[in-house]
Amino acid sequence: MSKELEEIYKKVCLLAGEKTSIKADKKKGILTGLKKLEETLKANKKQEEENSKRINEILKVVISLANLKYDKKAKISNKKSHFDALALGINMLGEELEASTISLHEKEVLLKEIHHRVKNNLQVISSLLNLQSEKIKQPDLLETFMESQNRIRAMALVHEKLYQSKNLSQIDFTEYVHSFINQMSSSYSLDPDKIKMHMLADMNPHFFKIDTAIPCSLILNELISNSYKYAFPKNRKGNIYLHFAKEKETKNTAQYILEISDDGVGISPEIDIKNTSSLGLQLVDLLTSQIEGKLELDRKGGTKFTIRFPVEKN
């Protein structure tokens, strides 16, 4: 008998002895009753501990499921208790949840696959244009085909950078600019001794989402193409400068500058960039508005296009 019950027994005996003379068989009866009470209390305590342990086990599985981790399963005994049913229910719900959700890894694989396919499809379109252009004799039409090819390649490069990026939703635009210049130089097959490309971008990574990266890539394509095509006629030597940097930043946004300039013959003073028949310049104006940027043209000593645009911080 436990110490506590022994104390109670002594008190009961003392109380009974004080008022009446307690018989031996009654004492035995009291003792048996108290022993039974003790056993019941012990059994209840054990059951309570067992229940608490099972609730904790089930809760751990629920927490795992809430974190989309499906490897933990609640134990099920052969007792067919309500706890077993609860554990079974949680396990089955977990299985259904696992079957109906896409894991983060699967999501990454799918996104990568999408960007890869978009890039491949754009490359196929570019190749088709290339094949078709082989049959074209008119120089104007040939040039139009080449311009379209370059625009498609500029966008394909964004998708290539996207599926190579870590988070699949942003690209490092500094890295993009470097790759783009290489792509562009090989596309125009120009003599680097005649036209030199100078990259003035800072070397820090600047991450842009696709909504900003695609318009910026097309702007870059149009303005550098323009310099290549028109700034240095009749084997004129010269330089093209590309300046890309973060100018300033506030708590929520950063302002960037994208500047493409050359020391060529200069853009005709008659051309108004807000009202021009050139598709390339129309695109630059439109895309600058799309990224909520400001476009400036400086005609001194060649041509200089400056675009300042805001990018929301993550």
List Cβ neighbours of 230 (8 Å cut-off, separation of 6 or more).
264, 265, 267
In the chain, what is the greatest distance between 2 CA atoms, to the nearest angstrom? 134
Is residue 64 within the footprint of another protein (CB under 8 A)?
no
Interaction with another protein in 98-137: which residues (CB under 8 A)?
99
Phi first, then psi, for residue 25 (nearest 5°) are -65, -30
| Both tokens assigned to 294 | 């400001």
Could you give phi then psi for residue 201, rounded to 5 degrees?
Answer: -75, 145
- Binding test (CB under 8 A) with another protein, winner from 89, 117, 200, 289: 89
From the CB of 81, what's the least distance to another protein, in Å?
Answer: 7
- Interacting stretch for another protein, rule CB under 8 A, among 3-11, 89-97, 178-186, 226-234? 89-97
**Separation of alpha carbons 233 and 144, rounded Å:** 19
Taking CB under 8 A as the binding criterion, the range among 17-25, 54-62, 73-81, 190-198 that sits at the site for another protein is 73-81
Total residue count of the chain as it appears in this document:
314
Q: Which listed residue (54, 58, 61, 91) binds another protein by CB under 8 A?
A: 91
**Binding window for another protein (CB under 8 A); candidates: 84-92, 124-132, 182-190, 275-283:** 84-92
According to the binding rule CB under 8 A, does residue 80 interact with another protein? Answer: yes
Q: Is 170 in the site for another protein (CB under 8 A)?
A: no
In the complex, the smallest distance separating the C-beta of residue 79 from another protein, rounded to whole angstroms, is 10
Q: Give the rounded distance of the alpha carbon of 25 from its chain centre.
A: 82
Least Cα distance to 208 among 238, 180, 240 occurs for 180
Q: Is 34 in the site for another protein (CB under 8 A)?
A: no
**Residue 10 corresponds to which tokens in the numbers above?**
């002594």
Nearest to 58 by CA among 102, 101, 93, 97: 93
Helix (H), strand (E) at residue 191: none
DSSP track, 81-109: -HHHHHHHHHHHHHHHHHHHS--HHHHHH
Structure tokens at 56: 């904790």
* List 96, 106, 292, 312, residue binding another protein (CB under 8 A): 96
Contact with another protein (CB under 8 A): which of 92, 110, 124, 128? 92
Shortest distance, CB of residue 92 to another protein, whole angstroms?
Answer: 6
d(CA 128, CA 209): 28
- Write down the least CB distance from residue 65 to another protein, Å: 14
Q: How far apart, in whole angstroms, are the C-alpha atoms of residue 160 and residue 164? A: 6
Candidates 38-46, 90-98, 111-119, 228-236 — which segment interacts with another protein by CB under 8 A? Answer: 90-98
Considering only the stretches 92-100, 260-268, 275-283, 293-301, report the one whose residues sit in contact with another protein under the rule CB under 8 A: 92-100
Min dist CB 96 to another protein, Å, is 5
Measured from the CB atom, the residue of 97 and 141 that comes closer to another protein is 97
Size of the site for another protein (CB under 8 A): 15
The site for another protein (CB under 8 A) is made up of 76, 78, 80-82, 84-86, 88-89, 91-92, 95-96, 99
